[in-house]
């Protein structure tokens, strides 16, 4: 082959490589700035030490079934043109009503053997928000949080005052016995035993087998609006009056149409101190990070470095989704108009 032929061959070769790579280059949605889905919804059911094999197959199935049911509820609302706010509330209601999760029925017990519930919700469209903390008689705290947002001039209401506000707005109170589950009661007894053996400082839960179990949901609706919500019983054996990150706007929940919607789960004290939900949106806003990068940075770098365990779910205005966690597992799932519900528990 003479020199001229070789040059032509190299030219053709490089041209075809350029063409092929041009065709196959995946344009990251966050780079394109386009909405990648019409609507999407992400949920979590808490992060913690869920190692494969530790949970019975039956239990695993039950969790997956309930998470899938929740995703289907959200899908239906969003598909019919409902708002992300409605989807978040209704999906969380379903999880609150399930004894499997640490929210509503099935909430963990505090050190006094009481269930003290926290929740918050935020609308990314106008950044309105509502939250309740330390309530004892509210079947669906996320709905009361929404009432605070829509029917009061306030953002956060706590304890008896929040319950008085609930009654004034037609919410029926439930007896504290409604929240009781045997497994959460046993958890409290186990933690108390461990506490007696060790020095008597507050231990968040039986560290090794701890599953936090909070529930959360973030959604993007067809109109392009984001919303986020979180509901929890807090942490087993928490001190009376302790309030976690879940009802704190900016810590456990945040939504801004310009960046993303976030719901957190994990060791609340860290999430409050590191203002986790807002930090993710701030990294996107001020550092131009993608939702995946910002969530990963906060959960797997910042929080992990200081021993703050947990995870988040987040969705941006284009429908890009992130679900990072630094524990061994996190109940989680998502659905969009383009794909079937997908549910996961472990690091897979």
**Residues near ligand ASP (CB under 6 A):** 46, 102, 212-214, 232, 234-235, 244-246, 265-266, 268, 271
Least distance CB 322 / ligand ASP (angstroms): 17
Q: 128, 181, 214, 232: which one is catalytic?
A: 214
* Nearest CB to ligand ASP, comparing residues 311 and 319: 311
| HEC readout, 128-146 | EEEEEEEECCCCCHHHHHH
- Answer for the pair 111, 127: CB distance below 8 angstroms, yes or no: no
d(CA 227, CA 222): 12
- Answer for the pair 101, 244: CB distance below 8 angstroms, yes or no: no
Name beta bridge partners: 260.
Answer: 316
* Burial class of 226 by CB neighbour count within 10 A (0 to 12, 13 to 18, 19+): buried
What's the token pair of residue 191? 């933690």
Least distance CB 268 / ligand ASP (angstroms): 2
Least distance CB 236 / ligand ASP (angstroms): 9
Least distance CB 346 / ligand ASP (angstroms): 17
The verdict on whether 253 is a catalytic residue reads: no
- Answer for the pair 104, 179: CB distance below 8 angstroms, yes or no: yes
Least distance CB 306 / ligand ASP (angstroms): 15
Q: Where does 127-275 have alpha helices with state H?
A: 141-151, 159-168, 182-197, 268-273
Residue 213 falls in which region: left (phi positive, over 0), alpha (psi -120 to 50) or beta: left
Q: Which of 294, 292, 293 is nearest to 283 (CA)?
A: 294
Q: Which single residue is written with the structure tokens 């968040």?
A: 204
Least distance CB 108 / ligand ASP (angstroms): 8
d(CA 277, CA 263): 7
What's the token pair of residue 273? 């101190």
Give the catalytic positions in this structure: 214
């Amino acid at each position: 082959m003479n020199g001229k032929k070789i040059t032509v061959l190299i030219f053709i070769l490089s041209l075809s490589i350029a063409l092929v790579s041009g065709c196959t280059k995946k344009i990251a949605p966050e780079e394109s700035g386009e909405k990648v889905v019409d609507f999407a919804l992400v949920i979590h059911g808490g992060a913690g030490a869920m190692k494969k094999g530790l949970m019975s197959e039956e239990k695993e199935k039950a969790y997956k079934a309930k998470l899938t049911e929740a995703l289907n509820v959200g899908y239906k609302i969003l598909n019919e043109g409902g708002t992300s706010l409605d989807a978040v509330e209704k999906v969380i209601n379903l999880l609150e009503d399930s004894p499997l999760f640490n929210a509503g029925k099935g909430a963990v017990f505090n050190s006094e053997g009481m269930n003290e519930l926290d929740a918050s919700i935020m609308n990314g469209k106008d950044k309105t928000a509502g939250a309740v903390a330390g309530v004892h008689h509210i079947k669906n705290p996320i709905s009361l949080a929404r009432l605070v947002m829509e029917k009061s001039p306030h953002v956060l209401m706590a304890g008896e005052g929040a319950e008085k506000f609930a009654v004034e707005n037609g919410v029926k109170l439930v007896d504290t016995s409604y929240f009781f589950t045997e497994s959460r009661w046993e958890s409290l007894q186990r933690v108390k035993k461990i506490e007696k053996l060790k020095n008597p400082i507050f231990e968040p839960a039986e560290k090794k087998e701890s599953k936090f179990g909070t529930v959360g949901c973030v959604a993007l609706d067809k109109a392009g609006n984001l919303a986020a919500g979180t509901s929890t019983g807090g942490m087993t054996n928490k001190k009376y009056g302790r309030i976690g990150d879940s009802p704190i706007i900016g810590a456990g929940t945040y939504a801004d149409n310009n960046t993303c919607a976030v719901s957190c789960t994990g060791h609340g004290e860290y999430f409050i101190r590191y203002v986790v939900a807002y930090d993710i949106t701030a990294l996107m806003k001020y550092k131009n990070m993608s939702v995946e990068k910002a969530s990963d940075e906060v959960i797997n770098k910042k929080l992990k470095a200081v021993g703050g365990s947990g995870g988040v779910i987040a969705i941006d205005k284009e429908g890009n989704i992130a679900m990072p966690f630094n524990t061994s597992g996190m109940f989680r799932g998502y659905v969009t108009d383009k794909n079937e519900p997908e549910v996961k528990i472990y690091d897979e």
